[in-house]
């Protein structure tokens, strides 16, 4: 395996760990510990962390890497943009989708059905669910939309796992039915109907994630309020990072 291939493997593994909440928002990512856990040297891990900084789901500050910790306002903004992109792409997909795309989507739906019986594999289920949206965007034939959605979904990795947090069996089944219906509508060229289903699908996910985040923000707000202000300001200031990446 070449260095580039190893770097891609490590990048994909770290992304999966973020999706599954194994690496949680706000967590410091220590390259030495990650390298040990992944069975590789520190070099490909540091390179992968640098690429995650470029994507926007990892920060570099205070001489370390941290998983980005989004707030409910930013989450709402990202879901709004996602809805705009996906509603447009799904209508194009209904006109341009290929039989191979439909088969790939149906294969993923079958995989998700098998995973739903195993709560321990929720991370993989979330990853496959995102793959459905990415394949539909690819099927639109509009490369600009596809690339924009790929970048957006990358930025959402730090909280997209919340879509299935405390999700009831009924809600999980509803989400899966919506995915199947969207694929069926795209397959039969009914783009407008597919757009309406995906709009409802995304808004439901958005409301669930935001409710989880707001509850968490309310939970931690009293703890922050109890910290003396001089400590808060000291922490907020922190060391600055110049364009070269070093602390000044």
Interval 80-104: pLDDT, tens: 999 999 999 999 999 999 999 999 9
User: What local confidence, expressed as pLDDT, does residue 220 receive?
Assistant: 59
Contact yes or no for 75/206 (Cβ under 8 A)? yes
Mean pLDDT of all residues in 174-179: 92
| Residue 222 backbone phi and psi in degrees, to 5 | -60, -35
- Supply the pLDDT for residue 198: 97
| C-alpha radius of gyration, the chain, whole number | 20
User: What's the pLDDT score for residue 147?
Assistant: 95
CATH 2.102.10.10 given to domain 3-69: no
Q: What average pLDDT score do residues 9-18 get?
A: 89
pLDDT for the residue 3: 77
The domain locations on the chain are 3-69, 72-220
- Has residue 201 got a pLDDT over 50? yes
Is 70 exceeded by the pLDDT of residue 225?
A: no
Nearest alpha-carbon partner for 89 in 178, 157, 149: 149
* C-beta neighbour count of 45 within 10 angstroms: 26
In the three-class reduction of DSSP (H, G, I as helix; E, B as strand; rest coil), residue 248 is classed as: coil
Beta carbons of 169 and 120 less than 8 angstroms apart: no
Question: How, if at all, do strands 58-61 and 28-29 pair?
Answer: unpaired
72-220 shares the fold of 3-69: no
CA distance 27 to 177: 34
Average pLDDT, the chain: 84
Predicted local confidence at residue 165, as pLDDT: 62
The residues near 94 (Cβ < 8 Å, ≥ 6 apart) are 185, 186, 189, 190, 191, 194
| Strand duo 58-61 + 64-67: pairing | antiparallel
* pLDDT of 57 above 70: yes
Write the pLDDT tens digit of every residue in 114-166.
887 776 677 788 889 999 999 999 999 999 999 999 999 988 887 877 777 66
Q: Give the per-residue pLDDT at 243.
A: 34
Three-class SS of residue 236? helix
Share of the chain above pLDDT 90, in %: 53
pLDDT of residue 234: 39
Q: What is the CATH number of domain 72-220?
A: 1.20.120.530
* Residue of 236, 177, 202, 214 whose CA lies nearest to 72: 214
Annotate 132-147 with DSSP letters as a single string.
Answer: HHHHHHHHTS-HHHHH
What is the average pLDDT across 163-174? Answer: 76
Supply the pLDDT for residue 206: 92
The pLDDT, as a whole number, for residue 241 is: 32
Is the model more confident about 182 or about 63? 182
């Amino acid at each position: 395996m070449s260095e580039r291939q190893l770097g891609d493997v490590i990048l994909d593994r770290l992304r999966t760990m973020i999706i599954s909440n194994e690496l949680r928002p706000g967590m410091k990512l220590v390259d030495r510990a990650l390298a040990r856990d992944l069975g590789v040297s520190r070099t490909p891990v540091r390179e992968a962390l640098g690429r995650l900084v470029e994507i926007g789901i990892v920060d570099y500050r205070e001489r370390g890497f941290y998983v980005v910790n989004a707030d409910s306002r930013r989450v709402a903004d990202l879901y709004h943009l996602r809805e705009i992109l996906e509603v447009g792409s799904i209508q194009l997909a209904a006109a341009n989708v290929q039989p191979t795309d439909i088969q790939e989507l149906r294969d993923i739906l079958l995989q998700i059905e098998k995973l739903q019986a195993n709560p321990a594999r929720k991370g993989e289920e979330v990853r496959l669910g995102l793959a459905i949206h990415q394949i539909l965007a690819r099927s639109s034939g509009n490369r600009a939309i596809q690339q924009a959605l790929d970048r957006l979904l990358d930025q959402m990795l730090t909280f997209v796992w919340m879509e299935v947090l405390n999700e009831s069996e009924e809600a999980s089944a509803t989400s899966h039915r919506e995915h199947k219906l969207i694929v069926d509508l795209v397959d039969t060229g009914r783009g407008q109907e597919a757009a309406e289903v995906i709009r409802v699908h995304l808004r439901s996910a958005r409301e669930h994630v935001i409710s989880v985040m707001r509850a968490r923000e309310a939970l931690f707000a009293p703890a922050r309020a109890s910290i003396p202000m001089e400590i808060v300001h000291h922490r907020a200031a922190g060391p600055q990072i110049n364009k070269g990446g070093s602390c000044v």
